[in-house]
Amino acid sequence: MAKTQLNVRVDEATAEVARERALQRGMSMNRYIEELVRKDAGEVGHTFVEAAADFMKQYRAVFDEEFGKEGEARS
């Protein structure tokens, strides 16, 4: 996959934390940042699923009343 170079400015404390975390994980700073971005991008899908699950919990009684309880055939 082709790579694109990004230049990012952060304060020295943030840069040092990033260096330490990458080192602790045995990876380059580039790889560490790339994984953080991928993880963050994946959070959107995860957040949606959590919100949908919360919605279903909140309105389960309404759905059960309308469509029948889980596993029960409706006549």
pLDDT tens, residue by residue, 14-72: 999 999 999 999 999 999 999 998 888 877 777 788 888 888 888 888 888 888 876 55
Structure tokens that stand for 8 in this block: 């990012």
Mean pLDDT over 2-9 rounds to 90
How high is the pLDDT of residue 19?
A: 95
Quick one: pLDDT at residue 9? Answer: 94
**Other C-beta atoms within 10 Å of 21: how many?**
14
Q: Tell me, yes or no, whether 25 lies in a domain.
A: yes
Residue 19 falls inside a structural domain: yes
C-alpha dist (Å) from residue 24 to 13, 21, 37, 56: 16, 5, 18, 40
Residue 1 is assigned to a structural domain of this protein: no
Residue 27 lies in a domain: yes
Answer whether residue 37 is part of any domain.
Answer: yes
Split into its structural domains, the chain has a count of 1
Let me know if residue 6 belongs to a domain.
no
Q: Is the pLDDT of residue 75 over 60?
A: no
Q: Residue 13 — very low, low, confident or very high, per pLDDT cuts 50/70/90?
A: very high
Judge whether 61 lies within some domain: yes
Under 8 Å CB-to-CB from 21, ≥6 apart: which residues? Answer: 32
